[in-house]
């Protein structure tokens, strides 16, 4: 299976980058072909401009060359994993902009939907599960991504995984990297 792994962190050598590498290693060990979209290092522009606005009057809109290239990358993969730090109870702006611009009308919703068999969002959190649950942030984030984005765009098997305590140091980073590797290795289980 071809899997697109989208990383949203400004530093490739960050823990998010290490998690991304571990996920990709797990995918490859399981026999998948992993393609990396490192939004920051690729210089992806998250700002939506008129050429990439949804066209409600046409099903045949041609988007900007940058977005057309991203759409092609999205469509040549059968699965997807998003890896990102959780900032202000959501994903980084660059990932939101990528979704806004690329998962566009008649690409991911409208007359056409995404054909991905499974999508997984992996959010790195400096906090812990009880803190997220206390105010409902856990449910809000999962609902936004799994229901509001994945399911809305035709991906029936959308999932969310937290990697909490990302700033704790000690053994935690190594544990998170191992958890991410296992997520990649088991990505297609049950499909």
pLDDT greater than 90 at residue 168: no
Number of domains into which the chain is organized? 1
Is 83 in a helix, a strand, or coil? strand
- pLDDT, average across residues 127-145: 93
Position 148 in a domain: yes
* Confidence bin at 67 (pLDDT 50/70/90): very high
- 17 with 7: CB under 8 angstroms? yes
Tell whether the torsion through CA atoms of 66, 144, 115 and 62 is positive or negative.
negative
Question: Which helix (DSSP H) or strand (DSSP E) does residue 6 occupy?
Answer: strand 2-7
- CATH for 142: 3.40.50.360
Domain residues for 35? 2-50+62-185
Give the whole-angstrom CA distance, residue 50 versus residue 109: 19
pTM of the full structure: 0.95
Q: Provide the CA 100 distance to its chain's centre, in angstroms.
A: 13
């Amino acid at each position: 299976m071809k899997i697109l792994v989208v990383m949203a962190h400004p530093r490739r050598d960050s823990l998010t980058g290490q998690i991304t590498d571990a996920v990709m290693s797990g995918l490859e060990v399981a026999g998948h072909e992993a393609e990396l979209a490192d939004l920051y290092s690729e210089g992806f522009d998250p700002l939506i401009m008129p050429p990439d606005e949804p066209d409600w009057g046409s099903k045949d809109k041609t988007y900007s060359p940058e977005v057309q290239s991203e759409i092609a990358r999205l469509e040549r993969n059968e699965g997807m994993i998003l890896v990102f730090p959780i900032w202000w109870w959501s994903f980084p702006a660059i990932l939101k902009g990528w979704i806004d611009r690329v998962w566009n009308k008649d690409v991911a919703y409208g007359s056409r939907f995404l054909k991905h068999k499974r999508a997984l969002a992996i959010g790195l959190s400096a906090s812990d599960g009880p803190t997220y649950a206390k105010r409902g942030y856990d449910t809000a984030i999962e609902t936004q991504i799994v229901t509001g984005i994945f399911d809305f765009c035709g991906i029936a098997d959308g999932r969310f995984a937290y990697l909490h305590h990302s700033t704790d140091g000690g053994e935690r980073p190594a544990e998170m990297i191992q958890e991410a590797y296992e997520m990649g290795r088991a990505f297609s289980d049950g499909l």
